[in-house]
Amino acid sequence: MNLPGILAEIAAVAGDGAALALARARGGTEIEVPKNPHPDCQLARIVGLDAARAIAREIGHGRLAIPMAALRGPAARRAAAAAMSDKGASAVTVALSCDMSTRTVRRIRRRLRRPLPLFDAGG
């Protein structure tokens, strides 16, 4: 799995599931990693106690800036719109589900249909 920055480190010590759960829950914000995570701390509620302890032990305690990793924000909405479009959802359904305009859905669909070049133009 190709995760950015600290999420890749979290995946290495606590597993992909923990990194993805953290990105979905707190991507684009900071989270406090306690020195000794307990079951009620925010990190443990998101990733589980064992994963929280592994993160604190291997990465350290303090505040961590969690990147969005295309799991939140505009990139996540575009990815969801592309997936729904591939499955045949109407532009209106995609727009309402992904919190975007039908015009944006049409732009995403045009990019999906655009053929890839057969040869590298750079060389």
**How high does pLDDT run on average in the chain?**
88
Give me the residue label for tokens 């040869």: 119
> Which pLDDT does position 81 carry in this prediction?
87
| Cβ-contact 67, 23 below 8 angstroms | yes
How far apart are alpha carbons 117 and 47 in whole angstroms? 42
Model pTM above 0.75: no
In this predicted model, which residue has the larger pLDDT, 70 or 5? 5
Secondary structure letter of residue 40 according to DSSP: T
- Write down the pLDDT at residue 59: 97
pLDDT of residue 3: 79
pLDDT at 117: 64
Q: Are 92 and 106 in contact (CB under 8 A)?
A: no
Asked whether 61 and 29 are in contact (CB, 8 A), the reply is no
How high is the pLDDT of residue 123?
A: 52
Distance CA 67, CA 29 (A): 7
Per-residue pLDDT tens for 10-59? 999 999 899 989 988 998 899 999 999 999 999 999 999 999 999 999 99
Cβ atoms of 43 and 31 within 8 Å: the answer is yes
7: nearest Cα among 17, 44, 57: 17
Q: Is the pLDDT of residue 1 over 80?
A: no
- Please answer whether residues 69 and 23 qualify as being in contact, where contact means their C-beta atoms are separated by less than 8 angstroms: yes
Tens-digit pLDDT profile for residues 59-106: 999 999 998 777 767 877 888 888 888 889 999 999 998 888 999 999
Which of 115, 99, 105 shows the shortest CA–CA distance to 85? 105
CA pair distance 51, 44, nearest whole angstrom: 7
